[in-house]
Structures are given as C-alpha cells and as structure tokens.
Amino acid sequence: MLTTPLDTDDTARPDRVEDYFRDGAAPADALLWWQLERQDALQVALRALFQGPAGVTRLRLWVFFELLALRESRLTREALNQAFHVLRDEVLDSVLKRLREADLLAWDATAQTYAVTPLAQQLVGLLQPLTQEQAPDGDLASLLAGVAGAHQLGTLQPAQLQHLLAQLSRLYDEFADAIASGSEFALRRARTRFEKALTLVDRAGEALGAIIAQAEAAGDARLERLARELGLAQARLLAMASQFNRALQQADRQRVTLGSTGITTTDVRRWLQSQGDLAKLLADGWERPVHPVLVSQHDLVDTAEAEFERDRPKPAEIAALPQGQAAPTGELAVMQLPPDMDQMQALLTAWAATDPIERDLSPAVLGDSYARAAYRAQLLPLLGDAQARHLKGATGDMARQPWSVRWSAEQGPVDDEFVKWMSRGVLTPESSS
C-alpha cells in the first residue's frame, strides 16, 4: 500500500508544514491561512481533546463540558472526585493530565486547586453544538445565530458571512435539484426544509439588514460586498417559493384517482414505500398465468352487433364551385386633415405679406371651440422647426412659415367664448428675430 506523508504517524515525520506545498513555503498571502496561524493554541487544545480512539475522545469531551459547567472558580481534588465519582481514579487522573497539558486546566500548587483557563472558555463556545440536539436545519440556524449574535456584540467577521453565504448557496442548489426532479415526495420533503429555512432567514432578517447598513457606513469593502451578496442570496430563496408552488401543482395534475375508491397513485406509492420487501407481496403470484375474464359476454356481443348494423350518415356529395360574380363598385376614402392648419397658414401668410411685425398669438389660436383652439396651439411648435422644413405637404409648409413662436410664463384672461384663461405669447417674424 502506497502512503503519502499525511498518512504517516505524527511522531515519524518532522513538523514542517512547508514541505506539503509545491514552492516549499506556506501561502503567506492567504487570509484564512494567516487566521489559522493566529489560533495555534486553540488547534493544540482541539488535538488534545480529539486525539485517540472514539471512546477516549468522548470521555475527554464529557469531563471537559462537566468541568466548564461547575460554578466554583477554584476546584479542589476532593470536589473533582465528588463531581466525577463514576470514574475510576486513574482514568480521571489521565484526563486531568491531558487537559493540563493542553492549557485547558490550570493547577495552583500553592492553593492545591484547579481552575479553568480562558482558552477553555473560548473552546467551549466552539464545541457547544456537540451538546445540542441535532435538527434538520441546525447548520443554518447555528450560522444565523452566530452572525446575528456577533453583530449585536460588535464582533462580526467577514468569515462568518462567507460561511453563511456558502450554506445558503448549498440550500438553493438542493432545493433547485428537488424542483428539477419532478418527484412529488422529493418536492414535499424539500418544501418542508425550504419553509423552515425561510422562517429562519425571516427571523434574522432585521439583523441582516442592519449588517448591510453598518457595512456601508463603516466603509469596509469586503464586509459590504459579502453583505450585499447575502441580500441577493435571501432574494433568491424568496423567489424560489413560486417555483415550489408550480412544481407541486404540476405533480397534483399528474396524480390519478383509482376508480371511485378515492385512492390516488400517491397513496399507493406511499403504501408501497412503507413495505419492507415488495417481493413478499406477490407471494406465489409469479406462478399463476394471466387469464382474461369476460364478465358480460352477451352484453358485449349485443353492443358489437348494434354498432355494425346502425345507420351511419352518408358522406356529402362533391359539389361544383359557384360561378364568379363581379365585385361591387366602391369608393376609396382618403383621410383629410382638419382645416385649421390651412386656415392658420393663410392667416400667417397674410400677416407676413401685409405687416410683418411681432403679433399676439391669441387671434391665431382662439376661435370656434376649445378643442380646435388646443389643436392650433399644438401646431405652433412646427413654426421654425429645422427638421420639419424638409418635409413635403402641409406639415412642411407650416414649418417653412417665416414666423417663430415665443411663449411667456405669464398668464391672463382672454376675450373668447370657449377659453377664458391662457398663457401669453407672441409670434415674431424671422426677419426681426
């Protein structure tokens, strides 16, 4: 069997991490590697607790958690013997010795007492999930609780948001696979987890919103980027609710009811899945051939005879096409513009020919009705329009008139039957402008 340096015993090889890398040096520019180097004491304590067989590891963890749960700050050996009276003395001595070597338990030779170290208090928070009941969504709950709690205490780190983002991404992929499978049972199982995840994210939503706002205010670029990505991950999960509904509706449409019994294919499948060995349900059924049984032979024969003898409608005979007819005489209706444009052009042409001076635009706009006055007012922007001057027809003729309109911000009453108030404006000949 071939082995790598990682497979050998710790005592049989030098403790040089650099030998595991291609360049012979640790990744000094990696932030995570630098953070792990700072927690060397915590890693040593973890190795001290978890090194060895599984039974010994569980024993050390039990003693460690029980020690941290004791209220006394100073513990004598008699108090420890009383607290761990179920252990043999040599076993308790071995565990206490291991905890002292890992700097998790301090021994005061003068007072002859034990005391819990700050490193042990830090380690118990790290190992706390080992003492909690495992829930289906405990991973997401613990990450959300850690992020929300760290935010309240002001100790939030970008790595915590990174782990939460990774977990939300994994959950999204898991739910997407369940939707793509089309399986009703997979959808219902995933829907239960999805609703729990949404509840957890919704409860922590206020804290997550505050994290995004705080990151923007603090100017921490990395924390702000992770906070924004966290908001996008929340939105992706929320948008998946409609996809679950559509997939479940599609599964409901595919469900078939067996006769008038009310039993559906889903019920049959659920019952089959509850059976241990499906082969036992057949018993000796494999040995019996299938024989068709006709319960009502005479009824079937009578129905067949009636079907053959009944009168069927004769097919329609082929008819010739009708003779051609001349098309009726029609008229081509051409849409005409309102006469107001021609009337306004005639007025402006007369003004330009007789007395080309600046004139009030009220006479050119008002008259007849409010609708026609509004239409004339909409024609005024065509005067002097450089682009419309190249057009043919009435629009181009209007744009080529030697006048320009200038509106004023002032408004006032006018002498007209249909319009009582309008903005002031003048028509200026191009020669004077």
Closest CA to 45 of 162, 163, 125, 114: 125
DSSP-derived 3-state class of residue 409: strand
- Residue 180 pLDDT > 80: yes
The confidence score (pLDDT) of residue 256 equals: 66
Kindly report, residue by residue over 213-251, the tens digit of the pLDDT.
777 766 677 777 877 787 788 778 877 877 877 887 777
Query: Distance (Å, rounded) from C-alpha 396 to C-alpha 387?
Result: 9
The confidence score (pLDDT) of residue 7 equals: 42
Q: What is the mean pLDDT of residues 275-283?
A: 72
The confidence score (pLDDT) of residue 337 equals: 65
Task: Please report which residue ranges of 219-264 form alpha helices under DSSP H.
Answer: 221-254
42: burial class by Cβ within 10 Å (0-12, 13-18, 19+)?
middle
Helix (H) or strand (E) holding 107: strand 105-108
The confidence score (pLDDT) of residue 320 equals: 85
Q: What is the mean pLDDT of residues 24-46?
A: 74
The confidence score (pLDDT) of residue 364 equals: 83
The confidence score (pLDDT) of residue 85 equals: 85
pTM score above 0.75? no
DSSP-derived 3-state class of residue 3: coil
Give whole-number Cα distances, 223 to 154, 158, 159, 406, in Å: 13, 6, 9, 57
Set out the domains of the chain in order of their start, with CATH numbers: 16-131 (1.10.10.10), 138-254 (no CATH), 340-429 (no CATH)
Task: Annotate 278-318 with DSSP letters as a single string.
Answer: THHHHTTGGGSPP----S-HHHHHHHHHHHHHS--PPPPPP
β 403-413/421-429 pair status: antiparallel
Helix (H) or strand (E) holding 145: helix 138-153
Q: Of 128-142, 189-203, 314-328, 330-344, where does mean pLDDT reach its minimum? A: 128-142
Q: Of 123-137, 269-283, 348-362, where does mean pLDDT reach its minimum? A: 123-137
- Residue 30 pLDDT > 80: no
Please report which confidence band the pLDDT of residue 71 belongs to, taking 50, 70 and 90 as the band edges. confident
Torsion of CA 373, 379, 380, 382, to 10 degrees: 180
Please report which confidence band the pLDDT of residue 174 belongs to, taking 50, 70 and 90 as the band edges. confident
Q: What is the mean pLDDT of residues 44-61?
A: 84
Q: Which amino acid is at 350?
A: A
Please report which confidence band the pLDDT of residue 254 belongs to, taking 50, 70 and 90 as the band edges. low
404: which strand partners? 428
Please report which confidence band the pLDDT of residue 395 belongs to, taking 50, 70 and 90 as the band edges. confident
Of residues 150 and 45, which shows the higher confidence score? 45
The confidence score (pLDDT) of residue 261 equals: 67
Q: Tokens 């309240």 correspond to what residue?
A: 152
Neighbours of 182 (CB within 10 A): 12
The confidence score (pLDDT) of residue 5 equals: 44
Please report which confidence band the pLDDT of residue 419 belongs to, taking 50, 70 and 90 as the band edges. confident
Please report which confidence band the pLDDT of residue 335 belongs to, taking 50, 70 and 90 as the band edges. low
Q: What is the mean pLDDT of residues 104-120?
A: 84
The confidence score (pLDDT) of residue 6 equals: 43
